[in-house]
């Protein structure tokens, strides 16, 4: 049984006519493995992830399909039960760490708050776990830096703080939505290495959302390609790169820079 199973997911926004922005999306994430969800901006990647978390922005709504996590239907859960899963069993790394962090609270307080939201621990223990999580994700001098505010950190460090918040309660599934978009290449590589390390250590399933097929090649086991809210192609990562079946996938692959001077797959 898959850790996360999405079948025929449909998300609509009202209008005349209604706009279906996710249309029949199906994918699965296995424990300890990575599923890549790839496509251009506006393809429905992030909305598919938000549907898993019950966070589709109003007035949008899920109008069809199934979402199951560890055998439980998430679409049938009451709001309180779903809030209990978010941040504990399912962690989220958003694409904008500065927006995800509160500028008037220290990073240690924000990670500690994520712990106390889901586990009945005292403030001192929550703070200790926050420091440990910051250290785990590579924040130098974590005990001292826990007292810093988000604006005192670099972009890469802020992304590490968001990851610390996401993994502080040891989730079974991590959803990483464009986790390296705003970072330079060297910091991007460090964040991807961190995600690989944490996945190996915790045995998490990872749903990695990106527009970058280069990252998918490096990180994913399975790949789902979206375009205009629909699945264009699904395959294991080796098969996708060796013999893409859809013209759209071939076009995406052709746009990936090659460092060896060879041409990308175009046919």
In whole angstroms, give the CA distance from residue 188 to residue 180: 5
Output the average pLDDT for the chain: 91
So what's the pLDDT on residue 238?
A: 93
pLDDT exceeds 70 at position 70:
yes
Task: Give the DSSP per-residue string, 53-88.
Answer: HT-PPTT-EEEEEEEEETTEESTTS-HHHHHHHBTT
So what's the pLDDT on residue 187?
A: 87
Average the pLDDT over 66-84 and give the result.
Answer: 93
For residue 139, the SS3 value is coil
**Which pLDDT band holds residue 258 (cuts at 50, 70, 90)?**
low
pLDDT exceeds 60 at position 260:
no
> 197 is written with which tokens?
């390390």
**Which pLDDT band holds residue 257 (cuts at 50, 70, 90)?**
low
**Which pLDDT band holds residue 263 (cuts at 50, 70, 90)?**
very low
In whole angstroms, give the CA distance from residue 67 to residue 73: 6
Assess if CATH 3.40.50.300 describes domain 4-97+157-254: yes
So what's the pLDDT on residue 184?
A: 84
Average the pLDDT over 88-116 and give the result.
Answer: 93
Contacting residues for 6 by C-beta, under 8 A, at least 6 apart: 25, 26, 27, 28, 48, 52, 65, 66, 67, 68
Beta bridge partners of 38: 210, 225
In our burial notation (b when 16+ CB lie closer than 10 A, e otherwise), range 100-131 reads bbeeeebbbbbbbbbbbebeeeeeeebbbbbb
> 158 is written with which tokens?
């802020």
Alpha-carbon distances of 99 from 184, 208, 234, rounded to whole Å: 18, 19, 32
Q: pTM of the full predicted structure?
A: 0.92
So what's the pLDDT on residue 254?
A: 84
Tell me phi and psi for residue 36, to 5 degrees. Answer: -95, 135
Q: Residues 163, 194: contact at Cβ < 8 Å?
A: yes
Q: Where in the chain are the domains?
A: 4-97+157-254
Question: In 3D, which of 220, 132, 231, 230 has the Cα closest to residue 176?
Answer: 220
> 134 is written with which tokens?
């910051």
* Percent share of the chain, pLDDT over 70: 96
Per-residue pLDDT of 9-63, as tens digits, reads: 999 999 889 999 999 999 999 999 999 999 988 899 999 999 999 999 999 999 9
């Amino acid at each position: 049984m898959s850790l996360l199973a999405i079948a025929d997911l449909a998300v609509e926004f009202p209008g005349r006519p209604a706009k279906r922005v996710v249309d029949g999306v199906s994918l699965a994430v296995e424990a300890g493995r990575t599923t890549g969800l790839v496509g251009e901006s506006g393809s429905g990647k992030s909305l598919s992830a938000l549907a898993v978390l019950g966070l589709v922005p109003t007035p949008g709504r899920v109008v069809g399909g199934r979402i199951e996590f560890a055998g439980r239907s998430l679409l049938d859960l009451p709001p309180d039960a779903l809030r209990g899963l978010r941040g504990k069993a399912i962690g989220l790394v958003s694409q904008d760490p500065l927006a995800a962090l509160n500028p008037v609270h220290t990073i240690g307080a924000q990670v500690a708050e994520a712990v106390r939201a889901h586990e009945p621990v005292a403030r001192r223990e929550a703070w200790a776990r926050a420091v440990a999580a910051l250290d785990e994700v590579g924040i130098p001098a974590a005990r001292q830096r826990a007292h810093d505010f988000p604006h005192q950190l670099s972009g890469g460090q802020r992304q590490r703080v968001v990851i610390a918040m996401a993994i502080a309660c040891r989730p079974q599934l991590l959803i990483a939505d464009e986790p390296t978009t705003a970072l330079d290449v060297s910091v991007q590589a460090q964040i991807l290495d961190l995600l690989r390390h944490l996945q190996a250590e915790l045995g998490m399933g990872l749903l990695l959302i990106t527009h970058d097929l280069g990252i998918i090649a490096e990180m994913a086991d399975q790949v789902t390609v979206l375009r205009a809210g629909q699945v264009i192609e699904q395959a294991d990562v080796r098969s996708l790169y060796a013999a893409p079946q859809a013209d759209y996938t071939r076009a995406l692959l052709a746009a990936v820079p090659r460092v060896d001077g060879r041409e990308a797959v175009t046919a």
